[in-house]
Every structure is written in structure tokens, then in C-alpha cells.
A and B are shown apart, each in its own frame.
Chain A
Amino acid sequence: MMQMTRRQSLALAGGLAITGARRARAQASRNVMVGGFDVGPGGFQGNFNPLAATAGFQWLNLYYETLVLYDAALENIKGALAASFESNPEKTRFMFHLVPDAKWHDGSAFTSTDVAFTIALAKDAKLGSIFASRLADITDVQTPDAHTAIMVLGKPNGSLPDILTKLMMLPEKALSALPREGLDRNPWWSTSPIGTGPFRFVRYETDQYVELKANSAYRAGKPKLDGVINRYFKNSAGAVAALRSGEIQFSYVESDEAAGFANDPKFHVIDGNSWVMNYIGFNARAGMWSDVRVRRALLQAINRDAIIKAIFKGAADPALSIYTAGNVTPKDLDPYPYDPAHAKLLLQQAGWDKINGSKPLPMLSYYNTPLVTNVMTAIQAMLGQVGIMVTPRQVDVATYNGIVYGQNNDAQFPLVYAGAQDGPEPGIANIYINSKQAPPAGANIMHADVPDLDAALNAALAEPDASKRPARFQQVARVFNTELPWAPLWVGKRYGVLSADIHNFVWTPAPSGGGYEQNAVAWSFS
């Protein structure tokens, strides 16, 4: 009798496990797509406040909406909650014509007062809004009628539409009913938020998933999917396991993981430009990089083509300046081909052939993947051949930022291997490489101080004529390529893996995960 009971227990346990796995895979039959939407560098698991979001915009855009969005190729800014917009030539006055039939998930109408309310909220630094400084140029929001919002700026800012592609519109009626003090930590964001998007918030299951259901009153029609679930994973390896076992239908994956799905008919591998240019940064305060010949020597000592071919398996494109987008990258840039003999010569001419002194230079990085470890090891070996001894030091993001943004830490990072967003708005480069943007003012962590580059950037940012802007930024690229405040290496591709059961899914590995037009209404199971 006792033996029977044990057998029954074992059978029950096994049965439960198998039943559970089958249930997990049965999501498709319920017309609910499950994905790891916040896996990888564009994701931001556990963040529900769009004003504090530094990433995760793909997911937020499913239930909130912005005034404007990029197209899926991240080339043009289009209307979203604003059907169209225009600005004066000086870029100090932007007029947004709102769509007439947008409704919040509680049924109330979306109007221009919601726009004014959102801007006021986003400019309130006390609420920890990441947009507070970015929207500082806006001095007034006028609402002449319910479907027109006019933003008046104190000084020209051609980048405003780009900023607005990530600013989710928020409901005045719902949020003004909550106490302003502590609004950023109000449970509303993770329990009952309302937006105007194609899906509505259902619930957040702590550390596990967020569930949305189709918004049947959406102005573009009811989504084909009944719901979307964003499952949380500690890393992409967990997401890969869930993809393989059929529990989820989409996730970002690392490039080496993507290769495992390439020939599997059950999946589609989506790739795209990461919009992150990897570079070796020269700390201008370290002394040894002040002669441009030394910086050129380091770049020519690295066989970028070999690293792209052997380690990235072709999943990267070489970079020649801070930009890689076609319209701001001129054709006449110096490619600095791999030439270790010339690199040695340049070091000798500059008097820096004994650049290390008595010990290797640390090369700091926040990248911790095995792929980057291989990349940094290859760079270490290549630089060693021309007499530049470096030691890779891979730390976590917090440690990296703590060092590079800290004071008096220069000895810890004469070199960094890092990445910088290089688009789609080219003006973003200003905060990285303009000498006026060295910490604490901005993100020029390598303290680049190149007057010609500053002049080119200032001219490009001040250019009011949109048709002339690309030429202005091409000049920035040229000066960057000549002066090399950083050694540009490559722009990697990023990968997403999608179940072959899903149709019309749009994913672009955009910086911070968005905001681009993803047409979620049309997503469907086959």
C-alpha cells in the first residue's frame, strides 16, 4: 500500500510538471503573444513610469503613445497622437495637430490639455523626470483648441521632435486626481495606468510579467491579438530557453545565440543596426594621447576587419567616425587601414614608442559578454604587437559610470572600450564630444577638447534649415575622422528572435528600445 502511494506521488509530480509546461506553451491558442520585450540593452524591466524611463520604449508604446514616432527604419519622424506637426524656420515654435478620435483607456477624449499637462509634468525635476532638462527649452504650451498644441521654445531646438518620440502622453484627468507630491512612486503606474495605445494594462505580476489586453476602442481598430504579455528574464539565456521550449514568441538575443536559430524553420531571426558605435576612447587628461599621431597609431594597429569577421562573424560594420548613418556620413573619410608597421612609425615620430612606461594601461569596459571579452583580448594582442600594452578591465555598468563620471579617477581609465548612440538624431553626439560637455556638465567622459570639432558641432546644432543639417553633420564626421578624439571601431548588429507563428511583427533594435512605429494592431498568430 505504501509503495503504491509513493508511485502515485511520483506520477502526480511528473504529471504536474508536464501539464505546466504544456499550459505555458498553450499561450498561442489563446491568441496572446508572450515575449521578452524588455530583454537586452533596449529593455527596462520593472519600470512603469515613462517619465523615468531610460529604455523600454517598445513595451511602453503598446499602451501609452507619443505625439510623434520614428518610422520603423528610424529615418523619418511621423505623427502618432499628433496627426501632423510643423515648426517655424527658427525652430522655436512647434505646432502639433492632434488626431481627433484618440481616447484614453477610460473612454475620455485625448485633448491638447493632456499635452500641456504632460509637458508640465515631464519638466518637473522634483518628480525625477529624465525629460526635465531635455525639455527645458520649452517655455510655454499653448492650447488654442482641443486638437492643437503649440510648444514655444526659449531658444532654437531642432532636436525637439526626436525627444518627443520617447515622451509618452499622460492623462490629465487621472493623474491630476493623485497627489503631486510623490507622484513618481504612486502605485498607479504599476497597477492602473491608462494610455491611448492599442493595448490596455491588466496587471503586473511581481518580477514575472506584465499583461496587457487588446483595446477594443482603439482608433485604428481592435488589435488582432487578444493580449500581449511581457515576461521578465534575468538575462537573454533564460529567454532563449523559453523561446526554445515554446513558452514565448519573441525576445532579443545575443549575436552568438542568434546563430543557433538561423536555420530553425520555427523561428525568424531579425537583425538591425544597433545605433551604437563601439569605440576606444582616449582619456584626454591622461597625457599620452595628446598627439593625434598616437591616436591614429592605435587605430591602425587594430585589424578591425579581422575582428568583425572572426569574432563578430560578420555581424558588425566598420565605423570611420562618430556617425554611421548614411545621410551624415561623407564618402571621403580616411579608413585608417590596418597597418601595424605604420602604427609603430607614428608612435616613434610622436615620441611615444614607450607609451606604457613600466606597466600596462587599463582598458575599461562595462561590456561583460564572452563576445566582448574575446574582442578585448584580440585588441590587447594587436596593440601589443606595436608596443602598446593594455589590460582589459571589464566591470559592471554602475562601476564603470562611477569611475568615468567621478572626479580624479583618470588613472583608472586612460582607455575605454565602450559604445555611444550615434543616431538617429545626429545632434546627440554633441553631449559626448563637445568640450563644454565634460562631466559634470555632460557626457564627454573622455574630456575630448578639439576646437574644430566644437565649432562643427555648434554650427550643425544651430542650423535651422533641415535640408542643410546633414551637410553640417557630415562636417562633424570629417573633423572627428581627422582628429580622432576616439578610435571608431564598428557598429554591431542586434538580433531578435521571433516565432514563425507570429505575423506582421515589427521590431527595430532602436536605441533605448524605441520609439518607432511598430503597428501592433496588426500583430497576429498564423
Chain B
Amino acid sequence: MLRTTLRHLGATAAMLVALSVLMFGLLRATPGDPVAAYMDPTAAYSAADIAALRHRMGLDQPLPLQYLDWATAALHGDFGYSTQHDRQPVRAMIAERAGPTLLLMGSGLILSTALGIGAGILAALRRDGPLDVALAVVGSLGVSSPAFLTALLGLFVFAVRLGWAPSGGMTTPGVPTTIADLLAHLALPAAIFAAGQATLTMRYMRAAMLEVMNHDYIRTARAKGVGEVWVICKHATRNALLPVVTLTGANIGAAVGGAIFIESVFNWPGMGLLMVNAVEARDYPVIMGSALVIGLFVLLINLLTDVVCAAVDPRIRVR
């Protein structure tokens, strides 16, 4: 078990280094740099203007030196300064935005898992009935709708037309933040975030339930006179949950991608919005820092999943 964990930890560290080198190389290969992004193309800039900007953004150093400087500092937890945002420290920027993203992702994942499991059980129990067909249609729509489209539609319907939810942001500007205000702002983005994830969970749960319901131990339980509710809850659902748990782990990685769209549409002040703004501004330090933190997060979740799987199933441990 220890060997398995150490091996995964080593792989995680190597992947993080590879990720940073890849990100650094790709960013420099992308046309345009932070200075190019900073300049209003309709305005006039002299060579001196541009030189001052390059100096300010630390781009007047050779590339390998820029990477070594960044990597050395990153090892000490210092990701440098943003080239925008009044040159704020990247670490502070990430720390400030990690909470809102975790709140959105966490509530979205809890909601999507609960909805997905519930709907999957119902669909399996009403196999081929009207409810199953309706849920299948909803599921197909959910899986096939891009996150940004669902988000825009949700914004239009619930914020603009119905006025049930604020149109964006995390709190109401200019008033003291309260839990109710925060929840009001969270409800719509979290629900839309959950909608996409829940449909996938529902399909997995339905398939797993159908498979489990045909097993001998379910028949045995029924033959012993165990009540149907107890059979479904205790015997079928618990066993059908295993693939869903694995899926939820994998969903966390995908959720990061989904959060980027949702946060952009709803102006949710999290990591996704930070990343999008940084990419548009070619804010290299912020992109590198955010990618590393998100990469680390996803790798740690994968590591945790692998370790848990190894603990549960001894056949996949390293020998």
C-alpha cells in the first residue's frame, strides 16, 4: 500500500513539472504576449511606451532565465506578480478566488450527485416507462448541451425574464454580505453547473442499478421476504453506487472545465474567471500559477481515487 502511494506521489510530482514546462512553452509559442494584450489596438504606442511595458512585465529577460526564475520561486510557493491587476501577487490572487470556486463546484457537485443518483434509481425502477423515457430525453439534452449555452439560457430565463435570480456576481454590490444573499447568487450558477453533471451521473446510476437488480443476491433478499424499499436502498443502491463514486472522482476534473464557463457567464469571482481573464490578457504568471494549482488539485484527486481503489481492491496494488 505504501509503495503504491509513493509511486503515485512520484508520478504526480513528475506530471506537475511536465505541466509547468508544457504550459511555459505553449504560452511563449502563442502569438501575442502580455504587452500585446495590454495595448489598445486603436491607440498609438511609441517604442518607449512598449519598452516600459515590457520592463514592467519582466519580459526583457531571456526565456530560459524567465522559466528558471519562475520555477525557483514557485518551489517556494511564490508564483510571481500578475502582469495586469496592478501587479498583484499571483498567490494572493489564487487564494482569493479558490474559495468561490470551491463553493460553486462543491455545491454543484453535491447537487448533481444527489439529483443524478435519485433520478438514476427512479429511471431504473421505471424501466422503459414514461418517466424513464422522459429522464432519458432530459439526460441526452443535458449531456449534449454545452455548458456556456445552458448558462446563457439559464441567465436569460431565470434572471432576465422571470427575475427569480440575480444576473451575476457573488454578492449584491454595496450591501453587507449575508448568507441569504450569497445563496441567492449561488443558486442559479450552481443549479446550471449541476444540471450538466447530474445527467451523466443519472445515466451511470441507471445502468448500474439495472445490472445490480438482476443479481442473485437481490433475488435472494426478495425471496427471504425483505421489503422492496429495503431491497432497493440497502442491497441494490449501495452496490450500484461504486461506479458512480468513481465517476464523481473523475467529474471533479471535468468540473474545473465547466466552472470556467459558468464563472465567465455569471461573473462568479473564482479561478475559472481568473483563468479566462488571464488567457485573454496573456498574463503568463497568473496562467502558470492557476494551471499549476488546478493541475495539482486534479492530480491529488486522482491520487486519492487511485489510493482508495487500491485500498478497496487489493488486485490493483503495486507488487
* A interface residues with partner B (beta carbon < 8 Å): 13-14, 16-21, 23-24, 27, 30, 32, 34, 41, 46-49, 52, 54-55, 125-130, 132-134, 136, 184-185, 187, 189-190, 205-209, 211, 227, 229, 231-234, 237-238, 241-242, 244-245, 247, 276, 366, 395-403, 405, 418-421, 428, 431-432, 437, 439-443, 511-512
Chain B hits for A431, CB < 8 A: 44-46
CB pair A421–B43 under 8 Å, yes or no, is: yes
Beyond A46-B84, A132-B52, whether A397 also contacts B41 by CB under 8 A is yes
Interface segment, B28-36, B292-300, B309-317?
Answer: B28-36
Closest to B93 in A: A206
CB of B130 within 8 Å of the partner chain: no
Binary A-proximity of B140-171 (CB < 8 A = 1, otherwise 0): 00000000000010011011100111111111
Which of B183-191, B225-233, B245-253 interfaces with chain A?
Answer: B183-191
Contact A20 B84 (CB under 8 A): no
Q: In the bound complex, how far is the Cα of B30 from the Cα of A125, in angstroms?
A: 27
Instruction: Tell whether B213 is near chain A: CB-to-CB under 8 Å.
Output: no
Are the C-beta atoms of B188 and A207 separated by less than 8 Å? no
Q: Measured between C-beta atoms, what is the minimum distance from B148 to chain A in Å?
A: 11
Give residues 80-136 of B contacting A (CB, 8 Å).
81, 84-88, 96-97
Q: Which residues of B contact A48 (CB under 8 A)?
A: 86
Q: Is B269 a contact partner of A20 (Cβ separation < 8 A)?
A: no
Top 7 A-B residue pairs of the complex, sorted by shortest distance between their CB atoms:
A20-B184, A398-B32, A128-B56, A402-B32, A185-B87, A401-B36, A133-B48
Q: Which residues of B contact A (CB under 8 A)?
A: 30-53, 55-57, 81, 84-88, 96-97, 152, 155-156, 158-160, 163-175, 180-181, 183-185, 187-188, 264-267, 269, 273-274, 276-277, 280-282
Q: Is the CB of A209 within 8 A of B180?
A: no
**Is the Cβ of A238 less than 8 Å from the Cβ of B172?**
no
Interchain pairs with CB closer than 8 A, number:
237
Closest residue of chain A to B41 (Cβ to Cβ) is: A366
CB distance from A77 to the nearest CB of B (A): 19
Asked if B40 and A54 sit within 8 Å, CB to CB, the answer is yes
A511 to B56, Cβ gap below 8 A?
A: no
CB pair A401–B32 under 8 Å, yes or no, is yes
A402 surroundings in chain B (CB, below 8 A)? 31-33, 36
Task: Say yes or no: A418 contacts B46, CB within 8 Å.
Answer: no
Best-surrounded residue of B57, B86, B175 (most CB of chain A within 10 A)? B86
**Assuming the A-B contacts A23-B172, A128-B56, are A405 and B44 also in contact, with contact meaning beta carbons closer than 8 angstroms in the complex?**
no
Set of chain B residues within 8 Å of A13, measured between Cβ atoms: 183, 187
Max count, chain A CB within 10 A of own CB: residue among B56, B156, B187, B274? B56
CA distance A126 to B52 in the complex (A): 7
Select which of B33, B180, B267 is within 8 A of A19 by beta carbon. B180
Q: In the complex, given contacts A241-B159, A245-B163, A442-B46, what are 19 additional A-B residue pairs having Cβ atoms less than 8 angstroms apart? A: A17-B184, A18-B164, A20-B172, A20-B183, A27-B173, A54-B40, A125-B51, A125-B55, A128-B57, A132-B49, A208-B170, A233-B267, A238-B168, A241-B168, A396-B280, A398-B32, A398-B33, A398-B281, A431-B45
How far is B117's CA from A377's CA once the two chains are assembled, in angstroms?
49
State the CA gap A420–B40 with chains docked (Å).
Answer: 10
What is the CB-to-nearest-CB distance from B184 to chain A, in angstroms, rounded to a whole number?
A: 2
A229, B174: Cα distance in complex, Å: 7
- Kindly identify which residue among A41, A190, A205 contacts B42, using a CB–CB cutoff of 8 Å: A41
Contact A405 B50 (CB under 8 A): yes
**Pick the contact of A136 from B48, B88, B173 — CB < 8 Å?**
B48
Q: Which residue of A lies closest to B56 (CB)?
A: A128
Q: How far is the CA of A247 from the CA of B181 in the complex (A)?
A: 14
Do residues A125 and B267 form an inter-chain contact, with CB atoms below 8 A?
A: no
User: A17 near B188 (CB under 8 angstroms)?
Assistant: yes
Known A-B contacts A128-B53, A401-B37; A247 and B32 likewise in contact (beta carbons under 8 Å)? no
A511 CB contacts on chain B under 8 angstroms: 42-43
> A431–B44 Cα gap in the complex (Å)?
6
- With both chains docked as a complex, state the minimum distance between the C-beta of B86 and any C-beta of chain A, in angstroms: 5
Given A133-B46, A207-B273, A241-B159: A398 and B87 interface contact (C-beta under 8 Å): no
Question: In the complex, are the beta carbons of B43 and A20 less than 8 A apart?
Answer: no
Given contacts A27-B173, A398-B33, A401-B36, contact A130 B55 (CB under 8 A): no
* Chain A residues whose C-beta falls within 8 Å of the C-beta of B81 in the assembled complex: 185
Q: Which of B84, B174, B183, B273 makes the CB contact (< 8 A) with A211?
A: B174
Cross-chain pairs A/B with CB under 8 angstroms, 11 sampled:
A16-B184, A18-B163, A46-B86, A46-B277, A54-B43, A128-B52, A132-B49, A184-B87, A206-B97, A397-B39, A405-B50
Q: Bound complex: CA of A193 vs CA of B104, how far in Å?
A: 32
Contact B269 A207 (CB under 8 A): yes
Residues of A within 8 A of B41 (CB): 366, 397, 400-401, 418-419
Residue of A nearest to B177 (CB): A205
Choose among B38, B57, B165, B167 the residue that contacts A54 (Cβ–Cβ < 8 A): B38
Partner of A47, one of B53, B86, B184, B265: B86
**Contact at A231–B173, with CB atoms within 8 Å?**
yes
List residues of chain A with CB within 8 A of the CB of B33. 398, 402
What residues of chain B lie closer than 8 Å to A187, measured between beta carbons? 88
Contact of B86 among A136, A185, A512 (CB under 8 A): A185
Chain A residues with CB below 8 A from B46, complex form:
133-134, 431, 437, 441-443
Chain A residue at smallest Cβ distance from B37: A398
Question: For residue A190, which residues in chain B have a CB less than 8 angstroms away from its CB?
Answer: 86, 88
Q: Are B40 and A184 in contact (CB under 8 A)?
A: no
Given A184-B87, A420-B42, A512-B40: A34 touches B168 (CB 8 Å cut-off): no
Partner of B167, one of A209, A238, A512: A238
In the complex, what's the smallest C-beta–C-beta distance from A450 to chain B, in angstroms?
17
Q: How far is the CA of A187 from the CA of B86 in the complex (A)?
A: 8
Q: Assess whether B32 is in contact with A399, with CB atoms less than 8 Å apart.
A: yes
CA distance A132 to B57 in the complex (A): 16
On chain A, the residues within 8 Å of B97 by CB distance are 206-207
Q: Are B40 and A245 in contact (CB under 8 A)?
A: no
**Residue in contact with A442 in the complex, picked from B44, B169, B274, CB distance below 8 Å:** B44
Residue of B nearest to A429 (CB): B44
Q: Which of A54, A276, A421 has the most CB of B within 10 A?
A: A54
Q: Are B269 and A208 in contact (CB under 8 A)?
A: yes
Bound complex: CA of A319 vs CA of B33, how far in Å? 32
Complex formed: what's the CA distance from A437 to B45 in Å?
10
Shortest Cβ distance from residue B188 to the other chain A in the assembled complex, whole angstroms: 7
Bound-complex Cα distance A55 to B87 (A): 17
Please pick, from A32, A41, A207, A241, the residue contacting B174 in the complex, using a CB distance under 8 A.
A32
Q: What is the CB-to-nearest-CB distance from A426 to chain B, in angstroms, rounded to a whole number?
A: 12
| Interfacial chain A residues near B160, Cβ < 8 Å | 241, 244-245
